[in-house]
Chain A
């Protein structure tokens, strides 16, 4: 009975309470405002302000496990536009690329279906970073390990919901049994379709083996910064290995062709089977 979250982006108001709750529960420090002196400017300028709408994280990082994305869809004449706002985090994939890639067993899936980086086991090899098709797992230079949302592992194993869902004032982030959440999502999608939201779709039923944290979007997933067709990279492992073996055979045959005995009368060394 996996636990998860249903993120209904259509009722998100962009308050970032989830970001704050996540930081507080997980004791995550703020990203330092990186002020640098630009020779062209008289005063120091912060270089890590995103300048992208109200987005203040820009990315999921070792200290930002939740990110509220703001998508401003306004036409040139500024009339009839809309905001799309989506709170994003680790999706706790059914087939998790990070989990498949981890060489130490630091990444584990718990009995509640959430994927956790065990901080005392992780060696900081960083291989899980490029293995996540959603760009979730990040490296923390403070801890020297990979870090990401754990679905509030300690909370959910003690009967509490996730901190972000608890803090969400509109119910945009709902925590619960994945099966229950899916029923809720289907009902909400049907209602939106009734209301004429033709583009509304649920993201995460099929992607990456089914996402335990899934979304209701009102536009294509790529508009919300999510891959349309996320590919779990280890699905290619067998073919990739097979072609590499073929390469090895080709080089081996080249060596054989170059170094073989050509019956030119030279005797075998008696050393061979010493």
Chain B
């Protein structure tokens, strides 16, 4: 008779999807911010596209989060004390701090999105620019990338800081894994949208793929470390549907295959990347990132 810690019963189509969309949005945002911050304007194409990716993918997430609640109409209790109406935060709860981080991040993502629209002449600059240009862009980029990293990573901390065996044993690695995965899925989403908007990636594609190689190696190392850390509670990652999702989807198709394709395309003496292959690989990365979140969220609840 071993003690059974209750599983929360989070649904994959709410919480798993939120972790994925939140990760893509935040990953795209911090890549865009860092490219703007350190690229010295050379990467305007990347950062513009990143901010076009970040806000719409973030818009998907509130319905997912609210949909999983037992009392959806009370979602505002996450931010405001139900009795007094004053802002409320519980610093020992990743969910509470994460809710406020989502508000801050959402504001940053919206500002960058609007800034994009103004820069491309879709919106009239006059009323907005007054508000926006008070602070230099670098400040937005710094705050935005910090908020982006937070959104990408806190979901892993949220899982780790529980008593469910798989999540507790893999502490403190899941947050870092989710950040690495957010980086690669964010980069993949930016790339696909650049192709779709016919922004010529050119030499930027190569930089993208260099970033992707580093992050993917980190991702694989963390995934392996997580399986080892889970020890005897890693069973759900070796049997049944979540084993297929984790190893076949997240690791093989989502990480190893794109990494191999990336390394192969950049082997010495070769300079042309096949674009259909790059598009396919970006799709695989996104698919793998989704299965990574779903498998870790659901396997921890078995």
Contacts and interface: CB of A to CB of B under 8 A. Distances in A.
Contacts of B74: 104, 121-124
A248 interface: yes
A222 interface: yes
Nearest to A272: B41
A126 B10 contact: yes
Contacts of B31: 255
B7 A144 contact: no
A247 B95 CA distance: 20
A135 to B, nearest CB: 5
B230 to A, nearest CB: 15
B3 A272 contact: no
B102 to A, nearest CB: 12
A55 B167 CA distance: 29
A227 B168 CA distance: 14
Contact of A239 (B90, B133, B153, B172): B172
Interface in B173-204: 173, 175-177, 179-180, 182-183
Contact of A130 (B69, B83, B167): B167
A57 interface: no
Query: Which of B8, B154, B168 has most chain A Cβ within 10 Å?
Result: B8
Contacts of A237: 92, 94, 157, 161
B265 to A, nearest CB: 15
B6 A243 contact: no
A146 B99 CA distance: 19
Interface in A194-249: 222-227, 230-231, 233-234, 236-237, 239-248
The main secondary structure of chain B at its interface with chain A is helix
A69 B92 CA distance: 33
B121 interface: no
A138 B81 CA distance: 23
Contacts of A272: 40-41, 137-138
Contact of A250 (B38, B68, B176): B176
Interface residues of A, number: 78
Contacts of A127: 8, 93, 95, 158, 162
B266 interface: no
B71 interface: yes
A151 interface: no
Contact of B4 (A126, A135, A146, A243): A135
Contacts of B254: none
A103 interface: yes
A125 B78 CA distance: 10
Interface string B37-62: 01111111010000000000000000
B3 A227 contact: yes
22 contacts: A71-B1, A101-B162, A105-B88, A123-B69, A123-B71, A123-B74, A125-B78, A129-B8, A130-B8, A131-B162, A134-B3, A144-B69, A237-B161, A240-B157, A240-B171, A244-B175, A247-B176, A247-B222, A248-B179, A251-B218, A258-B211, A259-B207
* CB-based closest 3 A-B pairs: A124-B70, A247-B176, A269-B41
Interface of A: 59, 69, 71, 97, 100-106, 118, 120-127, 129-141, 143-146, 222-227, 230-231, 233-234, 236-237, 239-248, 250-252, 254-261, 266, 268-274
Given A100-B92, A101-B162, A133-B163, 8 more contacts: A126-B10, A243-B175, A244-B179, A247-B222, A248-B153, A259-B39, A269-B42, A272-B41
